[in-house]
Amino acid sequence: MITRALILFLFAFSMQEIRAQQFATTEDGRTVKLNENGTWQFVTKEKSRKTDSILHIYSKPQLATTYVKSTRNRFGFWYDKTVWKPVQKKTNEYAEFEMEMPKGDAYAMFISEKIELDLDQLRNIVIKNARQQDPNIMVEKEEMRMVNGIKLKYLQMTGEAHGVNFVYQGYYSSNSSGTIQFVCFTAKNLVKEYESDFLNLLNGLVSSGQ
């Protein structure tokens, strides 16, 4: 069985850079990054990419009837308890929730933070941190989605640890209550087997009041 500790290597520090920096908003609405050395700089948005238009719209699966909510912001998610179960002893100290599939080698984690970030800034931080763990990390797919009324970024990345190839499929979003990273992962040779389960879990993502 593949261990969660092995698969989690790319995202062990996924929120570390966000926590190490502070952000502020100017009166005219621009975001400023405050560095630890006392300097600051404007956070510039990248030019619009082809992935900026929403390609898919999803809603919560009917079988997702169990709900957990973040205590750090307004995000939460619904899941099918016959497929997924919460992990009691977490591997990633930054993850608020970790999930596993008892009948398979597939896992998920939900990382939440109170800081609000531009989606492009969040995307860049995620990819940068992943490449610090594995310089050969590849972004295989990237697109904007609308899930239960939430605009978010979908990323599929592949990486390698100890000779094993892994696939990470995740949702990344941010609003005035904070930021979330909701990621499912497994070995690359198993991703087709679990892809529909990943999609169903990820599409249980909601913001409070839903």
Domain residue limits, the chain: 4-16+46-207
Using CA atoms, how far apart are residues 110 and 121, in angstroms rounded to an integer?
A: 19
Contacts of 103 (CB under 8 A, 6+ apart): none
Low-confidence ranges of the chain (pLDDT < 70): 1-51, 209-210
Give me the pLDDT at residue 183, please: 94
Give me the pLDDT at residue 34, please: 62
149: left (phi over 0), alpha (psi -120 to 50) or beta: left
* Residue % of the chain over a pLDDT of 70: 75
**Mean confidence (pLDDT) of the chain:** 83
Coil, strand, or helix at residue 91? coil
* CA-based nearest residue to 117, from 11, 12, 37, 21: 21
Give me the pLDDT at residue 93, please: 80
Using CA atoms, how far apart are residues 210 and 196, in angstroms rounded to an integer?
A: 23
Class of domain 4-16+46-207: alpha beta
Burial of 20 (C-beta count, 10 Å sphere; 0-12/13-18/19+): exposed
Q: What is the DSSP string of 123-179?
A: HHHHHHHHHHH-TT-EEEEEEEEEETTEEEEEEEEEEEETTEEEEEEEEEEEETTEE
Residue 194 CB neighbour total at 10 angstroms? 22
CB 127 within 8 Å of CB 156: no
Give me the pLDDT at residue 129, please: 83
Give me the pLDDT at residue 49, please: 47
pTM of the entire predicted model:
0.80
